[in-house]
Homo-oligomer: A and B are copies of this chain.
């Protein structure tokens, strides 16, 4: 006999009344509430959440999908978990290692009612395929998805990139190398197009020979610089995929006795704490705010189911900012 039935038996009240007390319904007499609460304490009762989820159809769990938990997505993850918790939701991590089948398991978990909604941080499956899962629960993406089938809270990184370019050119750096992340990602495309457009507009050389892809980590940055200096000409500045890459460039430049910023300027991306510490010029990226927005988007749907009405939370307009430091 479950503790629930035990409470029913000991209190003399019915299943419904006990349930009402548990769920803080107002339609319960003070005496009934008091008596039932007392017995609940005595029995050290806690509701079985699987039973609750089965009955209500909600789990109060949200899945977060990413290739791996790394430094780049850390602040997004941290903020999302926190804000979700504030609203009574737990967060399940789905690390896919870039594998499509692994990734699909997260979406299958939406179908199988394991999670109420999903946040995509990074994903490798086609939006077309993923769209089919939208009927099972709200899905929102941080990564830009190309199609509008899955809503995204991403900002157009072209704006941030232009800030960096304006800064560099205003300082006299015109021969610029670009270290990108994923080749096929929309962010990479945005950045590349912003670069090419900006350079053309200012009648400056577009150095596609200084494009490098799949540069994510400090080690990647080091290798990229070692490889760049083998060329006949050294760029005046390097635009990095993120701050960690910039750290690698900075470190390798020191080893190679390349003076910064005289011989080589460096601009990072995201404005992490380390960029501050190491004096790296970078683009402030409101990542935590985007995580908040991501949850708000989900809450717009999940809150309605929970509170019985439309839940609209304020989505403030977010902006990049240039943070000038010692590497430019």
Contact = CB atoms under 8 A, between A and B. Distances in A.
A71 B71 contact: yes
A327 to B, nearest CB: 13
A93 interface: yes
Interface stretch (A175-183, A275-283, A313-321): A275-283
Interface stretch (A33-41, A74-82, A161-169): A74-82
A49 B114 contact: yes
A31 to B, nearest CB: 27
A59 B69 contact: no
A311 to B, nearest CB: 23
Contact of A69 (B74, B114, B244, B277): B74
Interface string A234-260: 000000000010011001000000000
A48 B112 contact: yes
A218 interface: yes
Residue among A51, A78, A114, A219 facing the most chain B CB atoms (10 A cut-off): A114
A50 B48 contact: no
A176 B274 CA distance: 25
A273 B219 contact: yes
A247 B71 CA distance: 16
Nearest to A217: B273
Grouping DSSP codes into helix (H, G, I), strand (E, B) and loop, the A interface class, with mixed when no group exceeds half, is helix
A270 to B, nearest CB: 14
Chain A contact patch, size range: 35 or more
A112 B69 CA distance: 28
A48 B58 CA distance: 11
A279 B247 CA distance: 12
Interface in A67-125: 68-71, 74, 77-78, 81-82, 85, 90-95, 97, 102, 108-109, 111-114
Contact of A54 (B50, B112, B244, B279): B50
A91 B95 CA distance: 10
A53 interface: yes
Contact of A92 (B91, B95, B279): B91
Nearest to A56: B50
A222 B273 CA distance: 12
A248 B277 contact: yes
Interface of A: 46-51, 53-54, 59, 61, 68-71, 74, 77-78, 81-82, 85, 90-95, 97, 102, 108-109, 111-114, 217-219, 222, 244, 247-248, 251, 273-274, 276-279
Given A46-B108, A51-B54, A244-B274, 7 more contacts: A49-B113, A50-B54, A50-B114, A69-B78, A217-B273, A218-B277, A251-B278
24 contacts: A47-B112, A48-B54, A48-B112, A48-B113, A49-B109, A49-B112, A50-B50, A50-B114, A53-B53, A69-B77, A69-B78, A77-B93, A78-B95, A81-B93, A82-B95, A90-B109, A91-B92, A91-B93, A219-B273, A244-B274, A247-B278, A248-B277, A251-B278, A274-B274
